[in-house]
Amino acid sequence: MRIYDMDKKCYTEIQKHDNPLTKIEQLSDAMYCYKNSMFKMVYDATQPALVSYINSLDTNILDAEGMQWLYFTSGTTGVPTGVFKTKENSHKQAMALIKTFGDMKFNRVVTTVPFVHIYGIDIGGVVPMVLDIDVWTKENFLPEELVKEAEVEGTLVVTTPVFIKALNRMKNNAKFSKSLFLTSTAPVPIADGREFYENYDCSVLQLFASTETGLMGYKKNDESILKAYDGVKISQKDGMLRVSSPFVTQKIISDGRLKRVESSFQTEDIVEILSVNEFKLLGRSSKLVKIAGKRVSTVQVEDIIESIGGVDAVFIKIRKEERALKDEILDIYVEGSLTLEAKTVKECLKEALGSLHIPFKIYNHKKILRSSVGKKIGFK
């Protein structure tokens, strides 16, 4: 495996960096540590709250014995969690993912994501190292640049749903049937997956995962059913997914304390189990709003509204109000040129969800904030 710096147009060595700042340095340092079985703590140093939390931890709990990585979740839904992973966790996970590629062969990986989290490191770094192919990356990608790179046969693209949406809007005449796109961090709406395949004759493999569990399931293009990876055992408790696999962490740092993890990890994902290795994701427990006794996913509502022309992005917060009795209210923050009206939203929601009255309030012309991996985290 080699690392190609697309900004400098040259290959760079895999070597140790004491303070890696650029994406190239982050990848080089992480792969040096992985290759030499050196423990490494991985987190996004651009998030002041996360850095402050890590600095506040007792150094005695940062026990690296037998561990390869200590990843940290962003903490967007609460206090960050530190997640220890072994080298074996990463390697077995890479092998399980590679198996889903089938007969497809790749000559290189092009990754748009930073190397400050499990998706960037394990998928954008460890997978190409196991395949012994080069990684191409740069600080910032434009959608048209990604199209050009994907046209090169045998390219595995590691990216996020933001780029899938952007490429769909371009409607470029390019085709890249010999390449494959991987996405994670958020679901790709079914319509977006179908449109991407029809536009570019290229599949999008959506990875369903978390820092704690590693890879859990996958689906392609406009599929709605997730298939569990080899070695992943799925079950259900109180409607929520439980996962047991060789990728699941055994040790975490929660609320500043070291904790062991049960072999069957309890997630907050609401699912419908269809078979021993198939399931449907209904939503996150923290992202479900109760309307007239029914549970509706705010992610689904965001996708519906984002299909409206002139709307670039939508972020929804759930607000509880006593006057609304048992129902909850959706505060809808909209980024785009359109001044979205309540009548338009009601019509779209009715068409998609039926005659379900959803209380909401619209805030137009906001800027939707995203994390380094494209996950929506707020607005301004």
Instruction: Print the SS3 string covering 315-326.
Output: EEEEEECHHHCC
Binned at pLDDT 50, 70 and 90, residue 327 comes out as low
Residue 125 pLDDT greater than 80, yes or no: yes
255 or 321, greater pLDDT: 255
Domain boundary assignment for the chain:
3-283, 292-379
The C-alpha atoms of residue 213 and residue 49 are separated, in whole angstroms, by 24
Kindly provide the residue ranges of all beta strands, DSSP E only, lying in 73-169, ordered along the sequence. Answer: 82-85, 108-111, 134-137, 155-159
Q: How many CB atoms lie within 10 A of CB 100?
A: 17
Distance CA 155, CA 237 (A): 39
Beta-bridge mates of residue 331:
317, 361
Predicted local distance difference test score (pLDDT) of residue 31 = 98
Residue 76: the pLDDT is 59
Q: Is the pLDDT of residue 322 over 90?
A: no
Q: Is 166 exposed, middle or buried (0-12, 13-18, 19+ CB in 10 A)?
A: middle
Residue 95's pLDDT is 98
292-379 fold: GMP Synthetase; Chain A, domain 3 (3.30.300)
The stretch 316-325 carries a mean pLDDT of: 69
More confident residue, 301 or 93: 93
pLDDT at 372: 65
Task: Pick from 62-66, 147-151, 207-211, 299-303 the range whose average pLDDT is largest.
Answer: 147-151
Q: What is the pLDDT of residues 144-201, one digit of tens each?
A: 999 999 999 999 999 999 899 899 988 778 999 999 999 986 778 888 999 999 999 9
Contact assessment for residue 172 and residue 183, using Cβ atoms and an 8 Å cutoff: no
Strand partners for 108: 134, 155
* Domain covering 3-283: architecture: 3-Layer(aba) Sandwich (3.40)
Q: What is the pLDDT of residue 288?
A: 67
The confidence score (pLDDT) of residue 32 equals: 98
Bridge partners of residue 62, in order along the sequence? none
377 phi/psi in degrees, rounded to 5: -125, -5
